[in-house]
Chain A
Amino acid sequence: MSISIGPALHPAHHITDLKTRRRDSALHELVRHAHAAGAVGEEALLYATLLLRERLGATAVGRGVAVPNARSLAVLGPRLLIGRSRRGIEWGAPDGALVHLVLLALSPSEASVAAHHGLVARAVAAIRPARVRQRLLESEDPEDAGGLLHEVLP
């Protein structure tokens, strides 16, 4: 089953520049942003769950991209948040590259594994083309970035 993530691409879910160079702080910043945008209830719970996901293995997929993800009681509905880092974040990527684009894929705890994996798979597929990554990195306007991702999401 595929999750509809149209509303998840609201410009409020786009951080144009993550302030930190550290993975855990970047996750914290994204969680705080998601909470402020009304996408998440229990901020601390989601942050803890995302850290546990990283303990399972790095969510950096190479080419400067990370797709941290979680199913959590803290998440109010399926969401995809975009964070960008100009300086890059050390994320333990398989190719050793710093992460410049973070796509945080969130599903509520009621979502099935298949639905959540579908959301993650769509996020990974959407940013596979180099031109999409480049445009997301260059975009200054959250609406453009959200619009672009919406266009390319399979």
Chain B
Amino acid sequence: MSEWTAMLRLHDLDLLLEEARDPALASRLRSLGLEVSGLGALERARAQLHARLDRRWVSTYERAQQRYGRAVVAVRDRVCQGCFITLPTSAAASAGALGVCEFCGRILFWR
């Protein structure tokens, strides 16, 4: 698995953990008939993804997550969907690889 793939999976997993760790949200899911019992398995999966990432990327991810709640954002029409600033044309070269919005510091996901 590439570092890029690990980063995207970590982001999606954190969205899932956001639901699973919150007792009120987990209870809502249970009330719909959905099982929420494997929090430990998800925490282990997170630790494995974490271990695949370079420390520099982990700290970029955690800094952005702490600051904004979500560390990875999509780019649409060269606009960062986190801060809505148009990225320079040179930034498009990072499509398919890990890159950071030079304005807000979020990790960019080019669609």
Chain A contact residues, CB within 8 Å of chain B: 41-42, 44-45, 48-49, 52-53, 55-59, 61-62, 67, 70-74, 76, 92, 94, 108-110, 113, 117, 120-121, 124
A residues near B29, Cβ cutoff 8 Å: 117, 120
Contact of B16 among A56, A61, A76, A108 (CB under 8 A): A56
Interface string of B11-52 (1 = CB under 8 A from A): 111011011101001001100111111110110010000000
- Contact present for B38 and A48 (CB under 8 Å): no
13 sample A-B contacts, Cβ–Cβ < 8 Å, listed by A number: A41-B111, A42-B8, A45-B12, A52-B42, A55-B38, A55-B42, A59-B34, A61-B33, A62-B33, A70-B16, A76-B111, A113-B25, A120-B32
Q: Give bound CA distance, A2 to B73, whole Å.
A: 22
A residues near B35, Cβ cutoff 8 Å: 56-59, 92, 94
Chain B: minimal CB distance from A106 (Å): 12
B residues near A61, Cβ cutoff 8 Å: 32-34
Given A72-B12, A113-B25: A55 and B41 interface contact (C-beta under 8 Å): yes
Closest residue on chain B to residue A75 by CB atoms? B12
Other A-B pairs beyond A49-B9, A52-B45, 9, CB < 8 Å: A55-B38, A55-B42, A56-B39, A61-B32, A61-B33, A71-B15, A108-B74, A109-B11, A109-B15
B residues near A73, Cβ cutoff 8 Å: 8, 11-12, 72, 74, 109
- Contact present for A53 and B16 (CB under 8 Å): yes
Chain A: minimal CB distance from B73 (Å): 8
Chain B: minimal CB distance from A108 (Å): 8
B81 close to A (CB within 8 Å): yes
B residues near A59, Cβ cutoff 8 Å: 34-35
B residues near A72, Cβ cutoff 8 Å: 12, 15
Which 6 pairs across A and B sit closest by C-beta, in order of nearness?
A57-B35, A61-B33, A49-B12, A56-B38, A55-B41, A57-B37
Q: Which of B54-111 contact A (CB under 8 A)?
A: 70, 72, 74, 81, 109, 111
Closest residue on chain B to residue A111 by CB atoms? B15
Q: Give bound CA distance, A45 to B11, whole Å.
A: 10
Closest residue on chain A to residue B20 by CB atoms? A56
Q: Give bound CA distance, A92 to B35, whole Å.
A: 10
Q: Give bound CA distance, A117 to B30, whole Å.
A: 11
Q: Give bound CA distance, A154 to B102, whole Å.
A: 43
- Contact present for B42 and A56 (CB under 8 Å): yes
